[in-house]
Structure 1
Amino acid sequence: MQAMTATADFWLTLKHEAKRIVEQEPLLASFIHACILTHHNFESSLSFILSNKMADDIMPALAIREVFDEAYLLEPAIVEAAIEDIRAIFNRDPAVKDYMTVLIHFKGFQSVQVHRLAHYLWQQKRYQLALFLQSRNSEAFAVDIHPAATIGKGVMFDHATGIVVGETAVIEDNVSILQNVTLGGTGNESGDRHPKIRQGVMLGSGAKVLGNIEIGEGSKVGAGSVVLNDVPPHVTVVGVPAKVVGRPCCSRPCDSMQQNVLEDNQPVD
Structure 2
Amino acid sequence: MARATIVSSGDLWQEIRTEAQRAVAADPVFGAALSDAVLAHHDLAAALSDLIGRRLGGNAVARAQFAKLCSDAFRDQPELVEAASHDLQAIAIRDPALTGLLSPLLHFKGYVALEAWRVSSWLWRHDHIDLALLFQNEASNVLQVSIHPAAGIGSSVFLDHATGIVIGANVVVGDDVTILQNVSIGRQGGLPNRSPSIGRGVFIGAGATILGDIRVGDFAKIGANSVVTSDVPAGCTAVGHPARLTNCPEPAPAA
TM-score (norm 1): 0.88
Change (3 A) 1:210 1:119: same
1:59-93 Cα deviation digits (max 9, x unpaired): 52112111111111110000000000011000000
The correspondence of residues 95-106 of structure 1 with structure 2, limited to 5 A, is 95-106=97-108
Which range is displaced more, 98-107 or 52-61?
52-61
Q: Which residue of 2 aligns with 1:12?
A: 14
1:234-253 Cα deviation digits (max 9, x unpaired): 11110111111114xxxxxx
Q: Which residue of 2 aligns with 1:124?
A: 126
Change (3 A) 1:6 1:188: closer
Q: Distance in 2 between matches of 1:184 and 1:6?
A: 32
How much identity, in percent, do the aligned residues show?
37
Q: Which residue of 2 aligns with 1:72?
A: 74
Q: Distance in 1 between matches of 2:110 and 2:167?
A: 13
Contact 1:246 1:268 in 2 (8 A): no
C-alpha RMSD over aligned residues: 1.5
Structure 1: give runs of 5+ residues left out of the alignment.
248-265
Q: Which residue identity is paired with 1:14?
A: I
Q: Secondary structure at the match of 1:60?
A: helix
Q: Which residue of 1 aligns with 2:3?
A: none
Q: Distance in 1 between matches of 2:232 and 2:251?
A: 13
Q: Which residue identity is paired with 1:195?
A: P
Which range is displaced more, 82-91 or 59-68?
59-68
Contact 1:178 1:205 in 2 (8 A): yes
Q: Which residue identity is paired with 1:194?
A: S
Q: Which residue identity is paired with 1:115?
A: W
Q: Distance in 2 between matches of 1:33 and 1:112?
A: 24
Contact 1:204 1:223 in 2 (8 A): yes
1:169-224 Cα deviation digits (max 9, x unpaired): 000111000000100222222x3121110001000111100111110011001111
TM-score (norm 2): 0.93
The correspondence of residues 1-269 of structure 1 with structure 2, limited to 5 A, is 6-57=8-59, 60-189=62-191, 191-247=192-248
Q: Secondary structure at the match of 2:65?
A: helix
Change (3 A) 1:58 1:21: closer
Q: Distance in 2 between matches of 1:174 and 1:64?
A: 27
Contact 2:195 2:212 in 1 (8 A): yes
State the 1:58 CA deviation: 8.5
1:11-42 Cα deviation digits (max 9, x unpaired): 11110111111223322111100000011111
Q: Which residue identity is paired with 2:90?
A: A
Q: Distance in 1 between matches of 2:25 and 2:162?
A: 30
Q: Which residue of 2 aligns with 1:253?
A: none
State the 1:135 CA deviation: 0.3
Q: Distance in 2 between matches of 1:152 and 1:137?
A: 19
Structure 2: give runs of 5+ residues left out of the alignment.
1-6
Q: Distance in 2 between matches of 1:58 and 1:18?
A: 25
